[in-house]
Amino acid sequence: MTSTVMQAGKPPASARLGVGARRLAVIAAIGSLTTSVLIGLFLGPLEAQSAQGLSELEQALLITCFIGLGSQVVWLGLGLWALIQGIVAVTDHRGRRHGRWAVWLAFTTPILSFGVFVGLTLLTSPLG
């Protein structure tokens, strides 16, 4: 029994879109989570020092944290791109399994990344 795609004379759809979406989602997830961990670990102690004044090294580290927060926009953009590609891959049958993974990763990573950032910042900062 042949599929309707083969009956129309078209070759079966390639799974490359779903695979590409999944790869993009994994890259965005790794980048976002790594950035959140680094910023969360550095921002808490800097918050404690900011009341007494920051040295030049601490100011440079704070600027690096703000640059890292800005880089989260890049990771979010890659995640949105992966989300859109994953949705298209699932609906067009062009790598459905990989597309589902891409959609799941692109949806859950920002939530997890924000939780990691807030949790580590609160754990490393004085709550007094």
Please report whether residue 6 resides in a domain.
no
Please report whether residue 76 resides in a domain.
yes
Q: Per-residue pLDDT averaged across 24-44, rounded?
A: 93
Q: Per-residue pLDDT averaged across 13-41, rounded?
A: 93
Please report whether residue 79 resides in a domain.
yes
Q: How far apart are CA 108 and CA 15, in angstroms?
A: 23
Please report whether residue 92 resides in a domain.
yes
Please report whether residue 100 resides in a domain.
yes
Task: Write out the two tokens for 58.
Answer: 């601490």
Task: Write out the two tokens for 49.
Answer: 């020092």
Show the DSSP H helices in the chain as ranges. 4-7, 16-50, 56-91, 96-124
What is the span of the domain harbouring residue 38? Answer: 28-54+62-124
Residue 52's pLDDT is 73
Q: pLDDT tens digit string along 41-91?
A: 888 777 777 767 777 777 888 888 889 889 999 999 999 999 999 999 999
Whether the predicted model's global pTM rises above the 0.75 cut: yes
Number of domains in the chain: 1
Please report whether residue 20 resides in a domain.
no
- Does the pLDDT of residue 23 top 60, yes or no? yes
